[in-house]
Amino acid sequence: MSDAPDNGKTEYSVTELSMKLKRMVEGRFGYVRLRGEISGFKRAASGHIYLALKDEKSVLDGVMWKGVAGRLAFRPEDGLEVICGGKLTTYPGRSKYQIVIEQMEVAGAGALMALLDERKKKLAAEGLFDPGRKQAIPYLPKVIGVVTSPTGSVIRDILHRLSDRFPRHVIVWPVVVQGDKAAEQVAGAIRGFNGLAENGPVPRPDVLIVARGGGSLEDLWPFNEEEVVRAVADSDIPLISAVGHETDTTLIDYVADLRAPTPTAAAEQAVPVRDDLIYTVQDYNIRLGRAVRRMMQDRAQKLEGLGRGLPKPSEMLALNRQRLDDIVARLPRALSGLMDRRQMQLDGISRLFDSLNYRKVLERGYAVIRNEHGQAVTQAAGVMPGRALDMEFHDGHVAVIAAGKAQKSRKKPARKESDGRQGSLL
């Protein structure tokens, strides 16, 4: 079917006309380059990007397929002025023409710098860059987490420098560090490290290093994205930023707990030099020994000085020795007098005991009469005729049998109470 005009004589279907216009546009313009401001940026679930390019008067729709979008060095967003290269075509389903973008770059560093400055002011106003939010980097971490590309010189330089200074357990979270997917992966790695359990199967790092090599502003743009900056700000693990060369600056440098000029410098700031630490400890040990010896010498000198002011021990003990000798000399006499008094007391007690002994009474002609139970009989009334008795004299015992009638005890008549009248004397 010819694309030449037919002055309205030919009748077309809608699809035929749409395809005719499509071929006409694609054949007429082919590959074009456009400058415009991004508007209505949207990433579909498929990974394709849909947007519009506009200037002061016009708007042109654009589409970027997933493969091209994944190669971008920066993340497009509304308000960013870009230069796009691609093919102009139509979309018959919506009766509109559009550009299929095959290449996109920022329209000069000025546009990116303006966007960067605006974003920096916004985040600073939220307090994300306040020095008071920064954490101290541990002096000697056991585990170091590194967020970077698993290939290239950056990770090799970090591992080599750590090995030289103080070998540590290093865990690498591999990410892409350039392109449209970089910001999402870097932010995810930071949050992933923070999500590790303290005593889980994967050790939780004591410090993190986010690193990549140098590059253009567009190359480093993922580290200016808000989601990366906020992930760094939310990190409970102290974090060192090491993006680009010494002169490169990204927004995560302001929010990180420590900024290193290069990835190699980040490794140097993460651990001390092991040999220097050993030397320092040994030096401290030597100095401590010297200090202890000096202290002991000083104390000995002070003690010696104090000792010179004290009297000699022999002089201090002389008086006590003399007193002891005097006591020792008097002790036998004191003990002898004491023993004599005790002996006299004992003799008096012995004489008293002898005077109270019933055997002494028996020697004077008396006897003790006991019944068959060995009990002393003190009254005649208690002795029945025929009862066996024992009579003890001072020189022995005699068994006897009681004879006669039992004696009743004589009791004195009770005295009558006076009735108050005088009795007769006769």
Residue 93 predicted with pLDDT over 80: no
Any idea which of 28-32, 127-131, 411-415 has the lowest mean pLDDT?
A: 411-415
What percentage of the chain has pLDDT greater than the value 70?
92
Q: Tokens 């008067």 map to which residue?
A: 57
Q: Is 299 helix (H, G, I), strand (E, B) or coil?
A: helix
**Beta partners for residue 421, in sequence order:** none
Q: Which long-range contacts (CB under 8 A, 24 or more apart) does 375-383 make?
A: 379/409, 380/407, 380/409, 381/406, 381/407, 381/408, 381/409, 383/407
Beta strand segments in 149-286, E:
169-174, 207-212, 239-243, 258-259
**pLDDT value of position 176:** 93
**pLDDT value of position 123:** 95
Reported as a single tens digit per residue, the pLDDT across 380-409 is 887 888 888 888 888 888 888 888 765 555
Reported as a single tens digit per residue, the pLDDT across 315-346 is 778 888 888 888 888 888 777 878 888 888 88
Residue 145 predicted with pLDDT over 60: yes
What's the CA gap between 235 and 9, in Å, rounded?
A: 71
Domain spans of the chain?
14-107, 141-271, 276-328, 359-401
Q: Which of 267, 135, 293, 148 is nearest to 210 (CA)?
A: 148
CA angle at 71 for the pair 69 and 76, rounded to the nearest 5° = 50
Reported as a single tens digit per residue, the pLDDT across 270-293 is 999 998 889 999 999 999 999 999
- What is the CATH superfamily name and number for domain 141-271? Succinyl-CoA synthetase domains (3.40.50.261)
Q: Indicate the pTM of the whole model.
A: 0.56
Q: Which of 175, 15, 9, 8 is nearest to 91 (CA)?
A: 15
What's the CA gap between 93 and 18, in Å, rounded?
A: 9
**pLDDT value of position 411:** 52
CATH topology for 14-107? OB fold (Dihydrolipoamide Acetyltransferase, E2P) (2.40.50)
**pLDDT value of position 4:** 56
Tally the C-alpha atoms within 13 A of residue 408's C-alpha that lie toward its C-beta: 3
What's the CA gap between 170 and 183, in Å, rounded?
A: 22
CA 250 to chain centroid, in Å, comes to 34
**Beta partners for residue 146, in sequence order:** 172, 209
Report which listed range, 56-60, 84-88, 237-241, 311-315, is most confident: 237-241
Determine which helix (DSSP H) or strand (DSSP E) holds 97, and give its type and residue range. Answer: strand 96-106
Determine which helix (DSSP H) or strand (DSSP E) holds 401, and give its type and residue range. Answer: strand 396-401
Say if residues 133 and 233 touch (Cβ distance below 8 Å). Answer: yes
Residue 308 predicted with pLDDT over 60: yes
